[in-house]
Amino acid sequence: MRRPRSGGGWPAIRYVLRQAQRSGGLWRMYKALRTRNACKTCALGMGGQRGGMVNERGSFPEVCKKSVQAMAADMQGAIRPEFWSTYSLAQLAHFSPRQLESLGRLAQPLLHDRSSDYYRPVSWEEAIDLLVSTLRAAAPDSTFWYVSGRSSNEAGFVLHLLARLYGTNNVNNCSYYCHQASGVGLTRAIGTGTATIALEDLESADLVFLIGGNPASNHPRLMTTLARIRRRGGHVVVINPVREVGLIRFRVPSNLRSLLFADRIASVYVQPDIGGDLALLTGIAKRIVELGAHDAKFLSGHCHQSQPWLEWLAKLPWEEIERKSGVDRSTIDQVARLYADSKRTVFSWTMGITHHAHGVANVQAIANLALARGMVGKPGAGLLPIRGHSNVQGIGSVGVTPQLKQAVFERLESHYGLKLPTQPGLDTLACLEAAAAGRLQVGICLGGNLFGASPDARFAAEALARLELVAYLNTTLNTGHVRGLAKRTLVLPVLPRDEEPQPTTQESMFNFVRYSDGGPARLAGPRSELEVLTEVADRLLGPIGPVDWKDLRDTTRVRQMIGRVVPGFEAMQEGSKREFTIGGRLLREPRFPTADGRAVLHIHELPDLVGEPGQLRLMTVRSEGQFNTVVYEEEDWYRGQERRDVILIHPEDLQRLGLSDGQPVRVSSQVGSLGPVLARSFPDIKPGNALMYYPEANVLVPRRYDPESKTPAFKSVAISLVPWSG
Ligand SMILES: Nc1nc2c(c(=O)[nH]1)N[C@H]1C(S)=C(S)[C@@H](COP(=O)(O)OP(=O)(O)OC[C@H]3O[C@@H](n4cnc5c(=O)[nH]c(N)nc54)[C@H](O)[C@@H]3O)O[C@H]1N2
Ligand SMILES: Nc1nc2c(c(=O)[nH]1)N[C@H]1C(S)=C(S)[C@@H](COP(=O)(O)OP(=O)(O)OC[C@H]3O[C@@H](n4cnc5c(=O)[nH]c(N)nc54)[C@H](O)[C@@H]3O)O[C@H]1N2
Ligand SMILES: [Mo]
């Protein structure tokens, strides 16, 4: 398959038209996308009360392939009841993630137990009876509650309240596999864990660092902004071991000039080794100080630890920086000079930064670099973790975390007279480890695919298999329903947000809260997430003090409660559908929400690159045609791959290993091996590094994680390749 020379453009438009055709025509798709609901895909956010395909600055039409994909998936018909007696789990185990997703929508509750190889449709009553009785028999701390980032704030809030009042803090969300390192790293550096800027700040930046992300595939609408910044004479520095086509040249479909001539995106494209960012970012900071381009007044006036940090930088040898980053000094100098010339810089990053055993250190190195020139705490400049799921940030904000923010904890106790558990709760991977050790009995997963998303797939399956019951609330079938089975497994079909019977809310990565109107259910059978959760809560716990779960079936009541207990969400108490930016998050002044208003610089020793001599460093990433564990198409158009069972490596590495282009190999890591996989020549990856697709590659990813944020190192796996021999 040939690689395109730019991202976006006509192929993206053709794709949208084709998908629309398949989902019942362009008009039907357009109408679905225009309803007043927040977009379902990434956390850039669009839609809501301004109407679908509109962003928070009122710009229209904002659309991308991904929003169409996600909508098309929900517009599928239902999986027929006879399917479940026709296909056994043994047969379903051979279905690819794409085949599972395209079977259609889940429409009836399903139960599987070990005595059979089939799922059996059950009534909602039977399903909820089983869930409630199993929870009743279990000790609260032998249960865990996982939430993905597509559910609403209202469902997330009720879920964590239910889990805590039942008696456990084992409540977590997919952020522990995603941006947790950003939350932890930033909170310690500047006192807040989310973006410090709004969309308009990004639009007025003159320099954007885009580190460890591939927004051309994963946040396509961000490309419009980057292209605009370049057109205005601003710059974009891309830091990525892979030269991603769409980050070099991109054709914004909604802009005729861009569509015809393509916008250049990267002003400078820096290729570190996988895991080399900490060294690289530190090197840029060192060079900034050498050039005298740092803001000494800002550092001494608004930051702690600046003196030791400056002394440490001065002593750090350039040789070490170059060796541990894989980037030469002249490139570092070039980037530092661009930064030195900038008046308003935004630093943005994604999974290439957080998916490392030093994810928090990476994030703090970014914060250091920004603080060095006073680029946090003023308009048009700041820090922007590019979040994943459309409401992952909201799920965390409303309290779906093992430890509640102190203020939320206190207000739930004082305003509502509730008694909340105080023993520590487990993060996501820790839940699986506790399950594997036989310490857990029940798992409840609101959305997502915990099995497919987890490192060390064989271990994840074994861990889930030890549970008495796992309940999955989902919209479509995924690999977790087939390979993440407990002794008994319940699959409960729920409604996506544009089919919710009542309004719900979602929070974007710019801290903007949108209202989704919901809409008519496309199928009979699935229930609203909130309805299922409140019913379980009511039957399990009954009313507790002023908390009556029957009242909380009304999303307005849930929002009133969120508004009273979650700082920054006060606007929710009004009862109107006014969309708002969460209070206290945007930093327009150099006063940080820390105890004394100052930021903190952090010194982190530079880690060695992973792997022994002869091994490669593997990143596991998304293709153009997937959303996390959901695969919509086998091909990765941007990287020119027509199939997913490939490993992309540099031609020099192919030669060194004595492999020919396309030769079948076995890929092995410390925890597993995969093959046959085709070793393909990919000149755009830095030598010594390799790329495979998640979730299939998760059998290779060890449970090595960042001790600070508990995020697994999905992007740095030491691997060996040998020719496939059967
Ligand atoms: N269409 C679509 N959109 C999505 C998603 C999806 O699956 N599909 N997923 C959503 C979610 S939950 C998330 S978190 C985001 C993910 O968005 P991204 O983070 O963009 O996704 P990935 O494909 O995991 O990783 C992306 C990039 O990291 C680079 N990379 C790998 N290792 C390193 C490293 O060590 N250093 C640096 N600097 N770069 C590195 C890779 O080359 C790749 O370009 O997207 C969200 N949006
Ligand atoms: N190797 C490797 N592993 C990774 C990553 C990686 O880059 N490499 N990335 C990690 C990251 S960043 C993340 S965020 C996780 C993702 O982990 P998860 O969020 O757990 O997984 P998803 O694949 O996004 O979940 C997909 C399922 O969500 C369900 N769903 C869709 N919409 C709704 C809805 O409205 N309500 C409900 N209840 N369900 C819905 C569908 O049934 C679908 O099958 O994976 C992580 N795992
Ligand atoms: Mo994510």
283-329 residue pLDDT tens: 999 999 999 999 999 999 999 999 999 999 999 999 999 999 999 99
Cα 174 to averaged position of ligand 1 atoms, centre (Å) = 15
pLDDT at 1: 83
pLDDT at 228: 96
pLDDT at 502: 97
Q: Is the CB of 629 under 6 A from ligand 1?
A: no
Residue 24 lies in a domain: yes
Atom of ligand 1 nearest to the CA of 630: 7
Work out the pLDDT band at 58, boundaries 50, 70, 90.
Answer: confident
Q: What's the burial of 94, exposed, middle or buried (CB within 10 Å: 0-12/13-18/19+)? A: exposed
Within 121-198, residue ranges assigned H as helices are: 124-137, 153-166, 180-190
Q: Cis before residue 676, ω within 30 degrees of 0?
A: yes
> Closest ligand to 275 CA?
1
Are the CB atoms for 64 and 220 separated by under 8 Å?
yes
Q: Is the CB of 447 under 6 A from ligand 2?
A: yes
pLDDT at 649: 98
Please report how the helices 277-290 and 329-341 are oriented relative to each other, as an axis angle in degrees rounded to 10. Answer: 60
> What would the mean pLDDT of 336-341 be, rounded to a whole number?
98
Residue 253 lies in a domain: yes
Assigned token pair, 711: 């995020």
What whole-number distance in Å separates Cα of residue 34 and Cα of residue 52? 4
Cα 694 to averaged position of ligand 2 atoms, centre (Å) = 11
pLDDT at 61: 86
pLDDT tens digits for range 106-130: 999 999 999 999 999 999 999 999 9
Atom of ligand 2 nearest to the CA of 497: 35
- 382 with 440, same domain? no
- 426 with 563, same domain? yes
Q: Is the CB of 281 under 6 A from ligand 2?
A: no
| 375: CATH | 3.40.228.10
Within 148-244, residue ranges assigned H as helices are: 153-166, 180-190, 199-203, 215-218, 220-231
| 646: CATH | 2.40.40.20
Residue 688 lies in a domain: yes
Residue 90 lies in a domain: no
Cα 282 to averaged position of ligand 1 atoms, centre (Å) = 22
User: What one-character DSSP code corresponds to residue 470?
Assistant: E
- 159 with 187, same domain? no
**Domain termination residue (choose one: 330, 352, 386):** 386
What whole-number distance in Å separates Cα of residue 539 and Cα of residue 541? 6
- 706 with 572, same domain? no
pLDDT at 478: 97
| 467: CATH | 3.40.50.740
Residue nearest to atom 37 of ligand 2 (CA): 447
Are the CB atoms for 560 and 575 separated by under 8 Å?
yes
Atom of ligand 1 nearest to the CA of 247: 44
pLDDT at 65: 87
Residue nearest to atom 31 of ligand 1 (CA): 352
Residue 471 lies in a domain: yes
pLDDT at 537: 98
pLDDT tens digits for range 177-203: 999 999 999 999 999 999 999 999 999
What whole-number distance in Å separates Cα of residue 667 and Cα of residue 690? 11
Percentage of residues in the chain with pLDDT exceeding 90?
A: 94
Q: Which of 214, 470, 474, 618 to mutate to test the pocket of ligand 2 (most atoms within 8 A of CB)?
A: 474
pLDDT at 320: 98
Cα 241 to averaged position of ligand 2 atoms, centre (Å) = 24
Atom of ligand 1 nearest to the CA of 214: 20
Q: Cis before residue 220, ω within 30 degrees of 0?
A: no
Exposure of 708 in the CB half-sphere (CA atoms within 13 A): 22
Q: Is the CB of 478 under 6 A from ligand 2?
A: yes
pLDDT at 16: 87
- 18 with 124, same domain? no
Residue nearest to atom 45 of ligand 2 (CA): 453
Q: Give phi and psi for 235, each to the nearest 5.
A: -130, 155
- 196 with 320, same domain? yes
Residue nearest to atom 11 of ligand 1 (CA): 388
Residue 441 lies in a domain: yes
Average pLDDT, the chain: 96
pLDDT at 312: 98
Residue 595 lies in a domain: no
Work out the pLDDT band at 255, boundaries 50, 70, 90.
Answer: confident
Q: Is the CB of 449 under 6 A from ligand 1?
A: no
Q: Give phi and psi for 141, each to the nearest 5.
A: -75, 5
- 455 with 524, same domain? yes
> What would the mean pLDDT of 425-450 be, rounded to a whole number?
98
Cα 520 to averaged position of ligand 2 atoms, centre (Å) = 25
Assigned token pair, 625: 């045609």
Work out the pLDDT band at 95, boundaries 50, 70, 90.
Answer: very high
Q: Is 394 left (phi over 0), alpha (psi -120 to 50) or beta?
A: alpha
Q: Nearest CA to 221 among 355, 390, 101?
A: 390
Query: Across 194-349, where does the E strand assignment appear?
Result: 207-211, 235-239, 249-251, 263-264, 268-270, 303-304, 345-349
- Distance from the first to the final alpha carbon of the chain: 26
Q: Nearest CA to 672 among 520, 455, 469, 494?
A: 455
Q: Provide the Cα torsion 87, 90, 92, 93; round to 10°.
A: 180
- 354 with 453, same domain? no
Question: Has residue 615 got a pLDDT over 90?
Answer: yes
pLDDT at 2: 84
Question: Has residue 62 got a pLDDT over 90?
Answer: no
pLDDT tens digits for range 358-376: 999 999 999 999 999 999 9
Q: Give phi and psi for 32, each to the nearest 5.
A: -65, -40
Question: Which of helix, strand or coil describes residue 305?
Answer: coil
- 368 with 411, same domain? no
Can you give the C-alpha Rg of the chain in angstroms?
24
- 706 with 623, same domain? yes
pLDDT tens digits for range 471-520: 999 999 999 999 999 999 999 999 999 999 999 999 999 999 999 999 99
Residue/partner pairs of 424-428 with CB below 8 Å, 24 or more apart = 424/169, 425/168, 425/169, 425/170, 425/171, 425/172, 426/144, 426/169, 426/170, 426/172, 426/402, 427/172, 427/176, 427/180, 427/402, 427/710, 428/146, 428/172, 428/173, 428/174, 428/176, 428/177, 428/454, 428/710
pLDDT at 3: 87
> What would the mean pLDDT of 230-234 be, rounded to a whole number?
97
Cα 639 to averaged position of ligand 1 atoms, centre (Å) = 14
- 548 with 418, same domain? yes
Q: Nearest CA to 207 among 45, 372, 336, 43?
A: 336
Q: Nearest CA to 625 among 549, 676, 694, 566?
A: 694
Q: Is the CB of 221 under 6 A from ligand 1?
A: no
Work out the pLDDT band at 63, boundaries 50, 70, 90.
Answer: confident
| Lowest-confidence pick of 40-54, 208-222, 466-480, 498-512 | 40-54
pTM for the full model?
0.98
pLDDT at 543: 98
Residue nearest to atom 20 of ligand 2 (CA): 448
Order of strands across the sheet with 263-264? 7-8, 249-251, 263-264
Report in angstroms the alpha-carbon separations of 157 from 162, 171, 404, 446, 596. Answer: 9, 11, 11, 12, 31
Number of domains in the chain: 4
> What would the mean pLDDT of 606-635 be, rounded to a whole number?
95
Atom of ligand 2 nearest to the CA of 449: 20
- 148 with 48, same domain? no
What whole-number distance in Å separates Cα of residue 648 and Cα of residue 245? 15
pLDDT at 253: 87
Q: 20 lies in which domain range? A: 7-74
> What would the mean pLDDT of 414-438 be, rounded to a whole number?
98
> What would the mean pLDDT of 641-650 be, rounded to a whole number?
97
Are the CB atoms for 209 and 373 separated by under 8 Å?
no
> What would the mean pLDDT of 411-420 be, rounded to a whole number?
97
Are the CB atoms for 388 and 149 separated by under 8 Å?
yes
> What would the mean pLDDT of 402-416 be, rounded to a whole number?
97
Residue 375 lies in a domain: yes
Cα 477 to averaged position of ligand 2 atoms, centre (Å) = 12
> What would the mean pLDDT of 7-34 be, rounded to a whole number?
90
- What lies within 8 Å, CB to CB, of 597 at 6+ separation is 302, 591
**Domain termination residue (choose one: 578, 603, 628):** 578
Task: Please tell me which residue, 666 or 8, carries the higher pLDDT value.
Answer: 666
**Domain termination residue (choose one: 555, 578, 601):** 578
Are the CB atoms for 475 and 106 separated by under 8 Å?
yes
Are the CB atoms for 173 and 159 separated by under 8 Å?
no
Are the CB atoms for 135 and 374 separated by under 8 Å?
no
pLDDT at 690: 98
